[in-house]
Amino acid sequence: MRLVIIGAGFAGMYAAARLRDINGASPEELEIALVAPEPALVVRPRLYEPKPETLTAPLVDVLKAIDVVYVQGSAETVNTKSRMVEIFSAKGAKKNLSYDRLVSTIAPDMGAGPRLLIEDALNKLGVETRLGAGVAALDKSGVTLSDGERIEAETVIWAAGIRAAPLTAQIPAERDNFGRLLVDRDLRVPGVAGVFATGDAARAACDDLGNYAPMSCQHATRMGAFAGHNAAAELLGVPAKPYHQKAYVTCLDLGEAGALFMRGWKRKVEMVGDVAKKTKQEINTVWIYRPRAERAAALASADPERVTDL
């Protein structure tokens, strides 16, 4: 039996770790393949820090420790009828991978469709764009792009929006305004046999009170663990665990002004200033990170019922 995970982000990583743990299934019984362009976790919450290009965590050792096969490439098409994923490698080679269960965890994207219209409107408004380059550094007098170009500016506004990856559109199911697949409490995509969606790719209820998981690492890690558990549970004939996540905190870094730590869906402020800043640093380096590249630690970190002490 083969279980395929698309994406090596927070959800994909924890889905992989959970899958291997359930029922002690061996790699011969249950092959777990993780498809992603790079075997590394991009620590997105820290991308505002200096040297953002260094803020990735390698996953090769972690995946090896839990017997997960890494497949280099980008999933281009998903055929839910023949249960096949078509993958293109960095060198352009095409490969088909069949699956018994599929967990889609793919990342947000602005979406290619509206791009031309947006570019056109910006041109008309006299707004210049720089495509194909990221922001490499940000300082008091402007930004430096990844291709080395320097733009002097007194004010820089970060306004990147997020949307589920276009690949989710290939799953014949209902989606919300962000392109996220609507899932049931077990993170299954209703009506599409063998497909689970999680992390930023899924719109999932966190509780029975009407709260839905936002696109966040905090939720993606737990959703990943539940999706991994449930996809494997279905194959191995063991009970599923409905996704639930009660704890929810928000912590904003305010630069030299410290930080703001809030709890709950009503965002009650609990900490400000240096104390909150210290917590923000702990969140970004301990809680939102990959597990240790050691089997027992990696598997324990993906226990769906694990809660943080924050």
For binding to ligand FAD (CB under 6 A), which residues are involved?
6-12, 35-37, 44-45, 47, 74-75, 105-107, 160, 162, 165, 167, 199-200, 215-218, 220
* Residue 142 CB burial class (10 angstroms; 0-12, 13-18, ≥19): middle
User: Which residue's CB is nearer to ligand FAD, number 9 or number 194?
Assistant: 9
CB of 294 to ligand FAD, least distance (A): 21
CB of 73 to ligand FAD, least distance (A): 7
CB of 176 to ligand FAD, least distance (A): 15
User: Which residue's CB is nearer to ligand FAD, number 93 or number 121?
Assistant: 93
Rg, the chain, Cα only:
20
User: Which residue's CB is nearer to ligand FAD, number 121 or number 282?
Assistant: 282
Please report which residue ranges of the chain form alpha helices under DSSP H.
10-21, 60-65, 115-124, 217-236, 273-282, 295-301
User: Which residue's CB is nearer to ligand FAD, number 131 or number 159?
Assistant: 159
CB of 215 to ligand FAD, least distance (A): 4
User: Which residue's CB is nearer to ligand FAD, number 121 or number 252?
Assistant: 252
CB of 204 to ligand FAD, least distance (A): 11
User: Which residue's CB is nearer to ligand FAD, number 47 or number 240?
Assistant: 47
Using CB atoms, what's the residue nearest to ligand FAD?
Answer: 9
Cβ atoms of residues 236 and 30 within 8 Å: yes
Beta strands in the chain (DSSP E): 2-6, 31-36, 40-42, 56-58, 69-72, 74-79, 84-88, 94-98, 101-104, 135-139, 142-145, 150-152, 181-182, 195-197, 202-203, 249-253, 259-263, 268-272
CA distances from 29 to 24, 201, 231, 238, 241 (A): 10, 28, 14, 15, 21
Beta bridge partners of residue 250, listed in sequence order: 262
| CA torsion angle 229 235 238 239 (round to 10) | 60
CB of 112 to ligand FAD, least distance (A): 13
